[in-house]
Amino acid sequence: MITSLNLLYSQQSDLFPIRQRFQAHPSQQTLIQVFSGRVRRSQVESILIDLTEVFPNTPIVGTTTAGEICDGQAWNNTVVINFSFFESTVVKSSIVNCNGDLQLAGKTLARNFANSQPQALIVFGCSIKDGNKINATQLLTALAEALPKTIIAGGQAGDNGNGKITYVFTENEIVDYGAAAVSLTGEHLVVNNTFNLSWIPIGKKFKITKVVGQRVYRIDDRTPLELYNYYLGAEVVDELPLSAADFPLMTEREGMTMAIHPLFVHDDGSFDYIYCFDLGEQVQFGFCHSGLLQTAADKTFEELKRKPMQTAFIYSCVSRKWILGRDIDLDIAPIEKLASTTGFFAYGEYFTRTPGKCLHFGQTMTVLTLAETNEIKQTSENKKSKSWVVEQDSKQLKTLRVLHRLVETSARETELANQKLAEMAHKDGLTGLLNRRYFDCRFADEFQLARRTKAPLSLIMIDVDEFKLYNDTYGHIKGDSCLCTVADVLRQIPQRAEDVVCRYGGEEFIYILPNTDFEGAMNLAEQIRRDFDKIAIPHATSRVANYLTVSIGIQTATLLDRQMTAEKLIELCDQQLYLAKQSGRNRVCGAQTA
DSSP code per residue over 301-331:
HHHHTTS--SEEEEEEEHHHHHHHGGGGHHH
Asked if the model's pLDDT at residue 213 lies above 70, the reply is: yes
pTM above 0.75, yes or no: no
The yes-or-no answer on residue 381 being catalytic is no
b/e per residue 187-219 (b: at least 16 CB within 10 A): eebbbbbbbbbbbbbbbeebebbebeebbbbbb
CA 558 remoteness from chain centre: 30
Report yes or no: 91 and 57 within 8 Å, Cβ to Cβ.
no
Least confident of 190-194, 332-336, 558-562, 566-570: 558-562
**Residue 286: its pLDDT value, please?**
85
* Integer Cα distance of 123 and 144 in angstroms: 12
Spatial contact of 500 and 439, defined as CB atoms under 8 Å apart:
yes
Which among 379, 354, 423 is positioned nearest to 144, based on CA atoms?
354
Q: Which of 408, 446, 507, 508 is catalytic?
A: 507
Residue 296: predicted pLDDT: 80
Mean pLDDT of the region 404-411: 64
Question: Any idea which of 206-210, 250-254, 442-446, 590-594 has the lowest mean pLDDT?
Answer: 250-254
The pLDDT-based confidence of 390 (bands split at 50, 70, 90) is very low
Query: What pLDDT does residue 404 have?
Result: 59
CB-count exposure of residue 558 (10 Å: 0-12, 13-18, 19+) = middle
> Could you tell me the CA-to-CA distances from 167 to 23, 34, 61, 180, 262 in Å, in that order?
29, 11, 11, 9, 21
Crossing angle for the helix pair 476-492 and 518-535, nearest 10 degrees?
A: 130
34, 55, 179, 442 from 92: Cα distances, Å: 15, 15, 14, 54
Nearest of 303, 250, 305 to residue 281 by alpha carbon: 250
Separation of CA 219 from chain center: 17
Q: Average pLDDT, whole number, for the chain?
A: 88
Q: How many residues does the chain have?
A: 594
Q: What does the pLDDT average to over 299-315? A: 91
Helix, strand, coil percentages (3-state) for the chain, rounded to 5, are 35, 30, 30
State yes or no: pLDDT of 383 exceeds 50.
no
Q: What Cα–Cα distance (Å) separates residue 257 from each residue in 283, 368, 392?
A: 11, 20, 31
Q: Is 111 exposed, middle or buried (0-12, 13-18, 19+ CB in 10 A)?
A: exposed
Residue 195 has pLDDT above 70, yes or no: yes
Nearest Cα neighbor of 316 from 369, 281, 362 is 362
* H or E segment to which residue 181 belongs: strand 178-185
Q: 592 and 556 in contact (C-beta within 8 Å)?
A: yes
Taken in order 202, 208, 214, 215, the sign of the CA dihedral is: negative
For 524-561, the pLDDT digits (tens) are 999 999 999 999 999 999 999 999 999 999 999 987 67
Phi and psi at residue 533, in whole multiples of 5°? -60, -40
- Per-residue pLDDT, 292: 74
Q: What is the pLDDT of residue 385?
A: 43
Q: Is the pLDDT of residue 15 over 70?
A: yes
In which band, very low, low, confident or very high, does the pLDDT at 391 lie, cut at 50, 70 and 90? very low
Amino acid 417: pLDDT:
72
The answer to whether residues 307 and 230 touch, using CB atoms and an 8 Å cutoff, is no
pLDDT at 388 over 50: no
**In the predicted structure, residue 395 carries a pLDDT above the cut 60:** no
pLDDT for 43 equals 96
The whole-number pLDDT of residue 398 equals 60
Structure confidence at residue 407 (pLDDT): 61
Name the residue with higher pLDDT: 580 or 495: 580
Give the SS3 label for residue 480.
Answer: helix
Q: How confident is the model at residue 320 (pLDDT cuts 50, 70, 90)?
A: confident
How far is 589 from 583, CA to CA, in rounded Å? 9
> What is the distance between the alpha carbons of residues 543 and 545, in angstroms, rounded to a whole number?
6
38-52, 271-285, 333-347, 438-452 — most confident range: 38-52
pLDDT of 325 reads 76
Q: What value does the mean pLDDT take over residues 423-445?
A: 88
DSSP string, 36-105: ES--SHHHHHHHHHHHHHHSTT--EEEEE-SSEEETTEEESS-EEEEEEE-SS-EEEEEEEE-TT-HHHH
Q: How far is CA 89 from CA 28, 34, 80, 81, 240, in A?
A: 8, 19, 23, 19, 44
Burial (0-12, 13-18, 19+ Cβ within 10 Å), 411: middle
pLDDT confidence tier of residue 384, bands split at 50, 70 and 90: very low
pLDDT of residue 207: 92
Distance CA 585, CA 382 (A): 77
Which of 18-27, 340-349, 407-416, 526-535 bottoms out in mean pLDDT, i.e. has the lowest?
Answer: 407-416
C-alpha distances out from residue 16 to 23, 179, 420, 544, Å: 10, 29, 70, 100
Query: Which pLDDT value is given to residue 247?
Result: 85
CA-wise closest residue to 258 among 357, 358, 360, 121: 360
- Rg of the chain taking only CA atoms, in angstroms: 31
| pLDDT one-digit tens code per residue, 120-164 | 999 999 998 887 788 888 999 999 999 999 999 999 999 998 888
Residue 389's pLDDT is 47
pLDDT of residue 510: 96
Q: How far apart are CA 224 and CA 247, in angstroms?
A: 13
Quote the CA–CA distance of 292 and 130 in Å, as a whole number.
35
**Nearest CA among 552, 556, 553 for reference residue 458:** 556
pLDDT above 90: residue 96: yes
